Amino acid sequence: MTKIVIVSTSAPKLKEHDTGLWIEELATPYYLFKKAGYEVTIASPAGGAIPVDKNSMADGFFTDEAKKFMHDAEAIGQLSHSTKLDSIDFSSGIDAIFLCGGHGTCADFTANPALKSAIETLYAANKIVSAVCHGPNGLPQCNKPDGTPLVKDKVVAAFSNKEEHAVGLQDLVPFLLESKLRELGAKYESSDDWNCKVCVDGNLVTGQNPQSSEACAAAVISALSA
């Protein structure tokens, strides 16, 4: 059975700003991966209960998949008792990793040795590394086996500078994700704000924003089926 680890933030705050997981970016991929027959593990840097950004459950953002997830005993069980990231052996039996977003990732994905090791291990083994929205915050710290930045010369998508300014958190994030990826030599691509954009470059799959989570997960499934 194909095994995939979905990694969420453990951070309830970004400095003074209440945040956490953007629930749709976990829920939609979770159900697509389950439908594909995968063994899905929900993990986080700290393990245990994952904080959910209340804004992701507001009108207009609380999608049908997210509502289903919040009433799903098995799903909520995993959300409440997530596996601690550094307890997973990514060198054996894991086929893919999917980093979901929320501004919490700005606090605990950007300088995270366990996440860096997981991503680099899977990437070097030609397994699928995927991330959506602010999930790509986990990528800048990572290197290819030759020591160059993992994203260098890779076509990638992630939350855009324009989108970050639109939500007014540009002064709280550790870096603007689009700018950081470009700085590291990535070939950053985007759609208009809040429109779907997914990039696939080898075994790296990335999506721009919450509107991209379904297509990003579908691209992961296609890559794993290839």
pLDDT one-digit tens code per residue, 54-64: 999 999 999 99
* pLDDT tens digits along 199-221: 999 999 999 999 999 999 999 99
Average pLDDT estimate for 64-89: 98
- Confidence band of 179 (pLDDT split at 50, 70, 90): very high
What is the reported pLDDT for 95?
Answer: 98
What is the reported pLDDT for 69?
Answer: 98
- Report the distance separating Cα 136 and Cα 145, nearest Å: 19
Average pLDDT estimate for 46-74: 97
- The answer to whether residues 91 and 121 touch, using CB atoms and an 8 Å cutoff, is yes
Q: What is the mean pLDDT of the chain?
A: 98
pTM (2 d.p.): 0.98
CB atoms under 10 Å from CB of 67, counted, come to 14
Considering all CA atoms of the chain, what is the largest pairwise distance in Å, rounded to the nearest integer?
46
Share above pLDDT 70 across residues of the chain, in percent, rounded to a whole number: 100
What is the reported pLDDT for 226?
Answer: 86
- The answer to whether residues 168 and 143 touch, using CB atoms and an 8 Å cutoff, is no
- Confidence band of 13 (pLDDT split at 50, 70, 90): very high
